[in-house]
A and B are shown apart, each in its own frame.
Chain A
Amino acid sequence: MTTPSAPETEFSPTMIPARLPIGLAPSALLTVVRITVARQVRGVRRWVLAGVFALPIAFAILIRQFRPSLEAAPVEDGLILGLIFPALVPLAALLLASGMVQDDVEEQTLTYLLIRPIARWAIYLAKLAGTAIVTWGRAAIFTVATVGAIHWGESGLVGTVLRERAPIYVAMLALATAAYASIFGALSLVLRRALVVGAIYVVVVEGFFGAIDFVIREATVIYYIRVLAVRWLGVAGEEWSIDPDTAVSASTCVIVLLAIAGWFAAIGAAIFAAREFRLKTPEGN
Chain B
Amino acid sequence: MGQTVVEFRSVSKWYGQVIGLNNLTLELPPGVTGLLGPNGSGKSTLLQLATGQLRPSQGEVRVLGHRPRGSAGLNRYIGLCPEQDAFFEWMTGREFLRSCALLGGLGRHGAREAADRALERVGMTEHAGRAIRGYSKGMRQRIKLAQAMVHEPIVLFLDEPLNGTDPVARRELIDAIVEWGATGRTVLVSSHVFHEVQAVTRSIVLLNRGRLVAQGDVRQIRDLIDAHPHRIVLKSPRPRELAARLVACDDIVGVDLSREGGTLIVETRLPDRFYSRLVDLALDGGTPVDEVYSDDDNLESVFKYLVTT
Q: Interface centre among B53, B66, B103, B186, by most A CB within 10 Å? A: B103
Q: Is B305 an interface residue (CB 8 A)?
A: no
Residues of B close to A109: CB separation below 8 A: 86-88
Q: Is A160 an interface residue (CB 8 A)?
A: no
Chain A minimum-CB-distance residue to B69: A276
Q: Is A277 an interface residue (CB 8 A)?
A: yes
Are B74 and A31 in touch, CB under 8 angstroms? no
Digitize B40-70: 1 where CB-to-A-CB distance is under 8 Å, 0 elsewhere: 1000110010011111000000001110000
Decide: A117 near B74, CB < 8 A? Known: A11-B154, A32-B103: yes
> Which of A12-20, A80-88, A174-182, A190-198 is the interface stretch?
A12-20
State the Cβ distance, A101 to closest chain B Cβ, in Å: 14
Q: Is B136 an interface residue (CB 8 A)?
A: no
Chain B interface residue bracket vs A: 35 or more
Are A111 and B183 in touch, CB under 8 angstroms? no
Decide: A281 near B104, CB < 8 A? Known: A38-B88, A111-B82: no
A109 to B185, CA, bound (A): 26
Within 8 A of B (CB), among A112-128: 112-120
Decide: A117 near B15, CB < 8 A? Known: A9-B30, A10-B183: no
Chain A interface residue bracket vs B: 35 or more
A16 to B74, CA, bound (A): 9
Are B100 and A283 in touch, CB under 8 angstroms? no
Are A11 and B88 in touch, CB under 8 angstroms? no
Are B102 and A27 in touch, CB under 8 angstroms? yes
Residues of B close to A249: CB separation below 8 A: none
Q: How many A-B residue pairs have CB under 8 A?
A: 145
A51 to B30, CA, bound (A): 56
Are B73 and A116 in touch, CB under 8 angstroms? no
Decide: A281 near B15, CB < 8 A? Known: A20-B71, A108-B86: yes
Are B15 and A27 in touch, CB under 8 angstroms? no
Chain B minimum-CB-distance residue to A115: B80
Digitize B1-42: 1 where CB-to-A-CB distance is under 8 Å, 0 elsewhere: 001110000000001101010000000001000000000100
A11 to B185, CA, bound (A): 6
Q: Is A22 an interface residue (CB 8 A)?
A: yes
Are B77 and A16 in touch, CB under 8 angstroms? yes
Q: Is A39 an interface residue (CB 8 A)?
A: yes
Q: Is A68 an interface residue (CB 8 A)?
A: no
Are A276 and B53 in touch, CB under 8 angstroms? yes
State the Cβ distance, A248 to closest chain B Cβ, in Å: 40
State the Cβ distance, B210 to closest chain A Cβ, in Å: 10
Are B104 and A279 in touch, CB under 8 angstroms? no
Residues of A close to B99: CB separation below 8 A: 31, 34-35
Q: Is A28 an interface residue (CB 8 A)?
A: yes
State the Cβ distance, B13 to closest chain A Cβ, in Å: 9
Residues of A close to B104: CB separation below 8 A: 28, 116-117
A16 to B45, CA, bound (A): 25
The residue from B15, B147, B186 contacting A283, defined by CB atoms under 8 A apart: B15
Q: List 18 A-B contacts (CB under 8 A).
A: A9-B30, A16-B77, A20-B66, A21-B76, A31-B103, A111-B53, A112-B82, A112-B88, A112-B100, A114-B52, A115-B51, A115-B82, A116-B100, A276-B53, A279-B84, A282-B15, A282-B18, A283-B18
